[in-house]
Amino acid sequence: MYCGIALCVAALAALAVAGPAAVRQERSALSFRWCVPQELVDDCGRLTAAAGVPIGCVGGIDRLDCLRKVQNREADYLMADPEDVYVASHFDNADFAVFAELRTAEEPTAQFRYEGIMLVRAADNFRSLADLRGKRSCHTGFGRNVGYKIPVTRLQRAGVLKLPQGDGTLSPVERELAGLSELFSASCLPGSYSSDGGFDRLLKERYGNLCQRCAQPDRCAKDDRYAGYEGAIRCLVENGGDVAFSKTINVRKYFGLPVTSGGVPAGPAVNPTARPEDFVYLCEDGTTRPIAGGDGQPVCSWAQRPWQVLLGNGDLSGARLQELQSVGQQLHRYWTAPEQESDRATAQRLWIDRNAPLVARNETLAPRDYLARANYAEVIEREGRYGNVLRLCVVSEPERQKCELMRQAAYSRDIRPALSCVLKTHEACVAAVRDGTDADVVVLRTPNAQLEPLLWETFGDVMVAIADKTISRERLQTGPVALDLADERAVAAFGQLATRLPSLKSVDASAPEAAGAPIRIANSNALPQGEAADQKVLVCDDFTFQPLANVAMCHLRSNDERGPAAAVYVRRQVDEAVKDSVVHAFTALSDTFGHGQAREQVFRLFGPFRLRSGEQQLDLIFHHYAVALSAAKRS
């Protein structure tokens, strides 16, 4: 028996009226309910129906909303990253169980997705982790697990990596970079140290030795020749490094060894001239082990990344759990069979992939216990849970609820400083940030002269007025304004200017006289680019000018009622280090959970939010139609 998507929707709608007894009865009819992001519900229903499995599909706003639905018994399970499992472990009254894992075709029996290792030269005769001091290090990339998070975590624990103490001006990110810069004489730590370009450049200038061993030190980018798992090994073997932080499977592939000891060879060595006997794994106790595994000893991995999992609620047990594991395997086999090519991409969006076999666990594990096996919570919390925080002031209980979930999502995804949520009235929030007492940051939708704005919302599609950079205000006010008179949004935008200056005339953009118009109304997606952009400015509704980059603060309200952008405000007297931390954290939030970003399905920074009561609300903290946050500043 299975539930097609239309039938599921109708059945669930009926349940909302029928009450708990009907929920229990219908639950049996549906057998199992899989929660997926709302935009994947139809695809999910089609795939489960075609496979003939008794799985209904439930839509959540995002993956963390699905966690709530599973916890509240509105769904039975979801597919989750280890970071989502971490969030689940901190839910109030957490009641979850990991019951299956998505592994890889190369390592279907491995306990972990990958194991972080330190690779060194055998001839260097390491005797302890302290011998790493002054060495040249090779990392997969900034912020990555085996090349950054795990080394930072474990080397701190061993007392080898010492972060600056007592300097409150350094952000958590900069403290880690400062510690690594002091420990190693030279490194290749490629990637963006901050989502904000200016802060990224500042950090790379300040800690220049962290890019010194990269192929292109001036760029130190994530696509460097010595970036990534293989790149870090290449940096050690081919570029004079002393230690590489990578993972075991890539070491074995680089040297042409079997992927698993005693197993099928990985294929030709990436570097046929490199000899595996010249390199060893460095263990946390200072001993070393051969990479070929000839002595029968296991690899000395110092931390692991868990697999992606199927995460259910605590009601799944016994025969019911076994049935779900069985139908899950049936669904996976159906859509990974060679003949099922037509919907392969759709299946992959739902994490059904022939290269990621589904492996049922014999015993379920609670989220905390699952992460503890890999020391993964320690990796996420490496600087001490919420040791350095930004206090975000919110003005309503619904905003507080969104802030709390946003805080957890951000922390699990390594966005630092960590956030904390403070609930006050609008006026009290402004006062608290202004005085630096109970809050550091507030998001406001109207300008406030008492505070300093650092970032603004950006909108994907708004109407703007454009003029030549050399234009005078006198010429501006004589008009006319050129626009597409058939475009209702453009006409409404012109109306906003005409409200300020009733004598202003309009002309259709296609008319001959439009060529001499000092102002042109256009869609923000059609702004000039390159050199042409340097010669233009935006005209705001008060007839002031802004650079083209400042669309968020200088656009015209059209008939879709998109008002001025909300902004992230801080105290005016706050020091530059705190400003950098705020810009870094909120830019990272936007780049991680903003519209169109890869992890928007984890948590939607913009858009609807579901309260604990089940009600959905818009425009909490940020406008629902915003797409990103930008640090572009007013001229």
Binding positions for Fe(3+) are: 81, 114, 229
Backbone dihedral angles phi then psi of residue 410, each to the nearest 5 degrees:
-65, -45
Three-state secondary structure call for residue 338: coil
How many helices and strands (H and E) does the chain possess?
20, 27
Q: How many CA atoms lie within 13 A of 301 on its CB side?
A: 23
Extract the annotated binding site. Answer: 81, 114, 140, 144, 147, 229
The DSSP element (H or E) to which 56 belongs, if any, is: strand 55-60
Which of 588, 576, 633 lies closest to 456, judged by CA? 633
Residues 197 and 584: their CA atoms lie apart, in Å, by 9
| Bond before 417 cis per omega within 30 degrees | yes
Give Cα 609 to chain centroid, integer Å: 18
Round to whole Å and give the CA distance between 227 and 214: 8
Residue 538 sits at φ, ψ, to 5 deg, of -85, 145
* CA-wise closest residue to 302 among 282, 317, 322: 282
Q: DSSP for 386-447?
A: TSSEEEEEESSHHHHHHHHHHHHHHHHTT-SSEEEEEE--HHHHHHHHHHTSS-SEEEESS-
Tally the C-alpha atoms within 13 A of residue 470's C-alpha that lie toward its C-beta: 1
Helix (H) or strand (E) holding 279: strand 279-282
Largest CA distance in the chain: 89
| 254 touches 270 (CB < 8 A) | yes
CA distances from 24 to 20, 31, 32, 192, 554 (A): 6, 10, 12, 50, 54
For the residues of 210-255, what is the DSSP string, one character each?
GSTTSSSTTT--TTSTT-HHHHHHHHHHHS--SEEEEEHHHHHHHT
Counting beta carbons within 10 angstroms of the beta carbon of residue 228, is it exposed (0 to 12), middle (13 to 18) or buried (19 or more)? buried
Q: CA–CA separation, 557 vs 489, rounded Å?
A: 9
User: Quick check: helix, strand or coil at residue 453?
Assistant: strand
Residue 176 contacts by C-beta under 8 Å, 6 or more apart in sequence? 152, 163, 383
> Known binding site for hydrogencarbonate: residues?
140, 144, 147
